[in-house]
Amino acid sequence: DIQMTQSPPSLSASLGDKVTITCQASQNINKYIAWYQQKPGKAPRLLIRYTSILESGTPSRFSGSGSGRDYSFSISNVESEDIASYYCLQYDNLPYTFGAGTKLELK
Amino acid sequence: QVKLLQSGTALVKPGASVKMSCKASGYPFTDYWVSWVKQSHGKSLEWIGEVYPNSGATHFNEKFKAKATLTVDKFTSTAYMELSRLTSDDSAIYYCTRETAYWGQGTLVTVSS
Residues 6+ apart with CB under 8 A from B53: B29, B30, B31, B32, B34, B72, B74, B77, B79
Indicate the residue of A34, A94, A101 with minimum beta-carbon distance to B44: A101
Query: Are B105 and A95 within 8 A, CB to CB?
Result: no
Q: Which of A46, A87, A90, A96 has the most B C-beta neighbours within 10 Å, making it the best mutation to test the interface with B?
A: A96
Q: Could you report the per-residue pLDDT of A50-75, keeping only the tens digit for each?
A: 999 999 999 999 999 999 999 999 99
Question: Which residue in B1, B39, B40, B36 sits closest to B21, CA to CA?
Answer: B36
Q: Could you report the per-residue pLDDT of B60-102, keeping only the tens digit for each?
A: 999 999 999 999 999 999 999 999 999 999 999 999 999 999 9
Assess whether the previous peptide bond of A40 is cis (omega < 30° from 0). Answer: no
Question: Would you say B99 and B51 are in contact if contact means Cβ atoms under 8 Å apart?
Answer: no
Q: Sorting pLDDT into bands at 50, 70 and 90, what band is B44?
A: confident
| CA distance, residue A98 to nearest chain B CA (Å) | 6
Contact pairs from chain A to chain B, CB under 8 Å: 44
> Which residue in chain A is spatially nearest to B49 when comparing CA positions?
A95
